[in-house]
Structure 1
């Protein structure tokens, strides 16, 4: 059994309120959930307007499958025009 944990730190330069931030984060997390069988949650900077941390966890018997899904997650996050990726950490357990 293989486990991967992704920690994604985002910068949201055009956001002026927590409501706008949460709409963007919700959109990203829902896209990840709907396309990949993964657990996703906002895990940091919950009270800051322009910063966010998203955590993603996945379990599989195949390491290559997890690698493909991590790359797909990176593509989903990079496709979001409202957010800039500051850091994308991947940890295999």
Structure 2
């Protein structure tokens, strides 16, 4: 079994309330979950209105497929245009 995990760090401009941040984060999380059937959640920067960290995980049999899907998750998150991506991290390991 191959497990791939990723972390996307966003910078949110013009976000001056928790409600505005929650709207953006919820939209990104829902889009990634629906398109990739991945486990997605906000995992960091909860008290920072100008930033968000969204983590996700994918499970499969093929390492190359998981790597490709993680790259597609990063590309989709950037193409949404809801926030600027300032950092991405990924790790793939076999169990």
Does residue 79 (structure 1) correspond to residue 79 (structure 2)? The answer is yes
State the secondary structure of the residue aligned to 2:47. coil
Distance (Å, rounded) in 2 between the aligned partners of 1:27 and 1:50: 16
Does residue 2 (structure 1) correspond to residue 2 (structure 2)? The answer is yes
> Do the aligned residues in 1 keep the contact of 2:10 with 2:53 (CA within 8 Å)?
yes
TM-score, reference length from structure 2 = 0.92
> Do the aligned residues in 2 keep the contact of 1:43 with 1:53 (CA within 8 Å)?
yes
> Do the aligned residues in 2 keep the contact of 1:4 with 1:66 (CA within 8 Å)?
yes
> Do the aligned residues in 2 keep the contact of 1:14 with 1:82 (CA within 8 Å)?
no
Who is 2:57 aligned against? 57
Provide structure 2 residue ranges, at least 5 long, that are not aligned to the other structure. Answer: none
TM-score, reference length from structure 1 = 0.94
Distance (Å, rounded) in 2 between the aligned partners of 1:18 and 1:65: 36
Kindly state the Cα deviation for residue 50 of structure 1 after the two structures are TM-superposed.
Answer: 0.8
Kindly state the Cα deviation for residue 13 of structure 1 after the two structures are TM-superposed.
Answer: 1.2
Listed as ranges, the matches of 1:8-87 within 5 Å are 8-87=8-87
Structure 1 runs (4+) deviating above 2 angstroms are none
